[in-house]
Structure 1
Amino acid sequence: MAPRVLIADKLSPAAVDIFKQRGVEADVKTGLSKDELLKIIGDYDGLAVRSATKADKDVIAAAAKKLKVIGRAGIGVDNVDIPAATAAGIVVMNTPFGNSITTAEHAIAMMFACARQLPAADLSTQAGKWEKNRFMGVELYGKTLGLIGAGNIGSIVADRALGLKMKVVAYDPFLSPERAVEMGVEKVELDQLLARADVITLHTPLTDKTRNILSAENLARTKKGVLIVNCARGGLVDEAALRKLLDEGHVGGAAFDVFVEEPAKENVLFGAENFIATPHLGASTVEAQENVALQVAEQMSDYLLTGAVTNALNSPSVTAEEAPRLKPFVALAEKLGGFAGQMVDFGIKAIDIAYEGEVSALNTRPLTAAALSGVLRPMLEDVNMVSAPAVAKERGITVSESKQDDSPVYESLVRITITTEKGKRSFAGSLLAGAPRVVEVKGMDLDAPFAPTMLYVNNLDKPGFIGNLGALLAEAGVNIATFNLGRVAAGEDAICLVGVDQDPDAALLGKIQALPHVKEARALRF
């Protein structure tokens, strides 16, 4: 059955065409009320939105049984409850690069408009006035531009500003010195930027750390006559404090495309001298709207059809090229994790996943996420690849990865070691003809395919055990599909993994546990 996607906000018709060409059913239903959305969202595998539709915890709860992906055509995901989506195992994607150039160009345009007071001069001139002496602008050549945020959009603004022969300083805790040199900007602390910048532009998301980053205190520390441009997010600047400094003449001008409350029908900044406002037009060009719509349709289709994950905010990325190669290893990691999780009865303190051989050269983050979901699922039924890393972190479980190029026996080997309050248990698996197999338990080698239901028995290797086990299974009407053995040495510790066609009940497990020399018996389900 073809995956179904609900397009809840207006997207380019080309996006609908992409979904259909890729074999994904797409229903366009825009302008839905929350109640209307809640009634139908449970029928869809994917939800495509812009900024109008709110995918809050209620919507995600109503969609959790089926919804696999939420795609935001644009960069900001303020309208998506990412923690709720993660807990529900829903991948959240955005399109961070589709409107980058358009947004950067809007910031540059706002900077020019502010520097030369273009909107006010236009109104005055068209009103029949000729106030040539009133509109004295400032030249941008040789001035210092201060970037707050030097990511994708910020770097494009820096490039354009350098082309205007401006000097560029940048404050961004995540900007490496090497990347700053590559961009041609000087990396500075915020205090330095405030003291030196003739123009400040903001290009950072709104977080607890960036909220009011241009506070009343920080605005007061800027150069007299500074120009401030915000085409990023409302809430990065204290609007009331900025209005005061505009009125006092300390700030020479400001140009905002975004506001704390939108739509901004009224705002404390409106009417201030040399203040320019646009209605969140940063991404509003024909090219950008087309780009983000096409991008989100491609990304969602790739994920629903192949498992490729691009620009996800809560899941490891997997390229379309990687997805087919990773698929069997994801299955191995998840089943091996499920094996390990069902073998543990005490609180998990740490999980280590080791990759040996060819698999170590692959993108192992999705494999680790799959292994974690397998380990945790016996305890937390609804956990999956998306939610597992967050769930492990919430529970204080230490997760580590290790890699080595060579594997002594297998082309690729995955080993999961669980540390509990009682000690460690290790399990290893590999692929045979693309199918997952268990190849080591408790340090004992064996070679067992996974079956939907399996019986695990740990015993001393003594004559008669296999016959006794077979008799008990026959007596209970449980048919053996596969039977695999491993041992340390004759007469010592041994294990058997039996694929069975019927689910062993507690009574049967009790009888197996009571057999001579049996240490442990468990039913495993995959």
Structure 2
Amino acid sequence: MPKVLISDKMSPKAAEIFRARGIEVVEKPGLTKEELAAIIGDYDGLAIRSSTKATAQLLEHATKLKVIGRAGIGVDNVDVPAATARGIVVMNTPFGNSITTAEHAIALMFALARQLPEADASTQAGKWEKNRFMGVEVTSKTLGLIGCGNIGSIVAERGLGLKMKVVAFDPFLTPERAQDIGVEKVTLEELLAKADFITLHTPLTDSTRNILSAENLAKTKKGVRIINCARGGLIDEAALKAGLDSGHIAGAALDVFVEEPATQSPLFGTPNFISTPHLGASTDEAQVNVAIQVAEQMSDFLLTGGVSNALNMPSLSAEDAPKLKPYMALAEYLGHLIGQLTGDEIRAVTVEVEGAAAQLNIKPITGAVLAGLMRTFSDTVNMVNAPTMARDRNIEVAEVRHERDTDYQTLVRVKVKSASGERSVAGTLFGAAQPRLVEIFGIKVEADFANRMIFIINEDKPGFIGRLGTKLGEVGVNIGTFHLGRRDAGAEAILLLSIDSPVDGGTLKDIATLPGVKTAKALTFG
């Protein structure tokens, strides 16, 4: 009989489901890290919320552990790479608290519009400052959504119900999807200029970090009110305070902070600022939903090997997993690569398989491509929810098997159609296990994937490699591997190089200005 430990406070429904499925369950919330380390070796599954820290040190003691189930979206408290290295599946429940988080954003919008916390404090202090608290209506105002995925679209629906005009900035939102949900798709600059209220619903990635920077906050409409229930780090908190102090920003409400727990912040005490302690998912209904989901997912895995909403393992049957696992890794790399290289609105994805790959179940391979592709835009994507995200954005997904002969024993090709046209990348397996890139945009390039890489399109002319090496040497960036490909002598060429340390935006701009360079972009994998 599998044995599961629930180490955080969780709805009793979770334990009921485990027991009903024939799994032994022990509930011990509030353990110290030492106490947890002393007993974790007895369990096959660990069900947690946000308090338990599943660190690499803890997992060293988890000799029997097969699965960690996070009742919620974020897995910041789980060392996923360490769990993966130990063969432990990490699951979350990405959609269990979407409505709750969306409603919290709407609640904070109303609180800002009518200065409810300040009015409450004043009234309970025995004052009657009716003329001090002059609010604004939300009706007919423009609500700007930065991010219009699952939660953002729910906020959009609520905003439209309040008779607001809703505009959205989301590079992955198609015009068709925008029309379906009743929002106007705009650029970030247009949103900043138009919106009376701005609410954020995007993951924290390299491209979204400080998306509301000092520069962008200065572009907002005077009197704007800003709400963030998504991730700390999306807003420059110092710049936000400056905007509040100057009066350019009429109000701000944060449920999330760069550092949490946020026991102190320069924003605390600032007039027209509201803060809550990461309450986006804190409703009775959401807690029950995520508890039920995590218990069902973990039970399926422990009893039948079924995998749902795993962050570090595709949804596979136990029989297919050994054959498909290396193909999944290759497919995810290819999807993430073309997602980073395309960067704009993707309308269609085609996954083609040739050789040995054509004899396999293509569905998990396609799922892995989509997971890699969506990872450019979302930090909660996995093999299960990636196809749903693609459908929500009206991305056409096609699968093609080729029985034709190929130059490689096995080949996976990913094509995308976007506003920029059609592009493709292709890869194979070296030694039947190691993913290897063999083609980018129709140009042959043999390259292994690395954690940090630079992609360059340039004119094939003498002296370029020397100039590039000199530039990277000047900033102390060491080159690991160097891979070249070209269409014809003197024509367009592609360069992929792995690097040992990240390059900053300034260095990339300098590379882009080197003679002959058409494109220079940093890539990350892993």
- Is 1:101 aligned to 2:83, yes or no? no
| TM-score, scaled to structure 1 | 0.63
> How far apart in 1 are the matches of 2:399 and 2:326?
19
The 8 Å contact of residues 147 and 203 in structure 1, kept in 2 or not, is answered as yes
Q: Secondary structure of 1:70's match?
A: strand
Bigger Rg, structure 1 or 2 = 1
State the Cα distance separating 1:148 from its structure 2 match.
Answer: 1.3
- Is 1:159 aligned to 2:157, yes or no? yes
Aligned match of 2:184: 186
Aligned match of 2:283: 285
Aligned match of 1:453: none
> How far apart in 1 are the matches of 2:109 and 2:102?
11
Q: Secondary structure of 1:27's match?
A: strand
State the Cα distance separating 1:120 from its structure 2 match.
Answer: 1.0
| TM-score, scaled to structure 2 | 0.63
Alignment of 1:300-319 (within 5 A): 300-318=298-316
> How far apart in 1 are the matches of 2:291 and 2:430?
49
Cα deviation, 1:415-438, whole Å, max 9, x if unaligned, reads 97499xxx9999xxxxxxxxxxxx
- Is 1:132 aligned to 2:130, yes or no? yes
Name the CA shift for 1:305/1:355 in 2 (closer, same or farther; >3 Å): farther
State the Cα distance separating 1:222 from its structure 2 match.
Answer: 0.9
State the Cα distance separating 1:12 from its structure 2 match.
Answer: 0.8
Cα deviation, 1:129-160, whole Å, max 9, x if unaligned, reads 22221111111111111111111111100110
> How far apart in 2 are the matches of 1:49 and 1:424?
38
RMSD: 3.3
Aligned match of 1:81: 79
Name the CA shift for 1:425/1:221 in 2 (closer, same or farther; >3 Å): closer
State the Cα distance separating 1:94 from its structure 2 match.
Answer: 1.0
> How far apart in 1 are the matches of 2:326 and 2:84?
21
Q: Comparing 294-303 with 166-175, which one deviates more in the overlay?
A: 166-175
The letter for the 1-side match of 2:275 is A
The letter for the 2-side match of 1:354 is A
Aligned match of 1:5: 4
The 8 Å contact of residues 355 and 402 in structure 2, kept in 1 or not, is answered as no
- Is 1:294 aligned to 2:289, yes or no? no
> How far apart in 2 are the matches of 1:115 and 1:367?
43
Q: Secondary structure of 1:98's match?
A: coil
Name the CA shift for 1:88/1:172 in 2 (closer, same or farther; >3 Å): farther
**Stretches of 4+ aligned residues off by more than 3 angstroms:** 326-337, 350-353, 359-368, 401-407, 415-419, 423-426
Aligned match of 1:470: none
Alignment of 1:369-448 (within 5 A): 404=401, 417=410
> How far apart in 1 are the matches of 2:431 and 2:300?
37
Q: State the percentage of identical aligned residues.
A: 67
Aligned match of 2:378: none
The letter for the 1-side match of 2:51 is A
User: Paired residues, what number?
Assistant: 363
Aligned match of 1:204: 202
The 8 Å contact of residues 354 and 403 in structure 1, kept in 2 or not, is answered as no
State the Cα distance separating 1:201 from its structure 2 match.
Answer: 0.5
The letter for the 2-side match of 1:288 is A
Aligned match of 2:463: none
Cα deviation, 1:96-116, whole Å, max 9, x if unaligned, reads 111111111111010001001
Name the CA shift for 1:105/1:19 in 2 (closer, same or farther; >3 Å): same
Question: Which consecutive residues of structure 1, in runs of 5 or more, have no partner in the other structure?
Answer: 319-325, 338-349, 369-385, 387-400, 408-414, 427-526
Cα deviation, 1:217-252, whole Å, max 9, x if unaligned, reads 211111111001111122221112111111111100
The 8 Å contact of residues 168 and 191 in structure 2, kept in 1 or not, is answered as yes
Aligned match of 1:37: 36
Q: Secondary structure of 2:274's match?
A: strand
State the Cα distance separating 1:364 from its structure 2 match.
Answer: 5.3
The 8 Å contact of residues 47 and 294 in structure 2, kept in 1 or not, is answered as yes
The letter for the 2-side match of 1:30 is P
Aligned match of 2:452: none
> How far apart in 1 are the matches of 2:293 and 2:25?
15
State the Cα distance separating 1:328 from its structure 2 match.
Answer: 4.1
The letter for the 1-side match of 2:158 is R
State the Cα distance separating 1:86 from its structure 2 match.
Answer: 2.5
> How far apart in 2 are the matches of 1:273 and 1:301?
49
Name the CA shift for 1:418/1:145 in 2 (closer, same or farther; >3 Å): closer
> How far apart in 1 are the matches of 2:234 and 2:430?
48
Aligned match of 2:25: 26
Aligned match of 2:462: none
Aligned match of 1:481: none
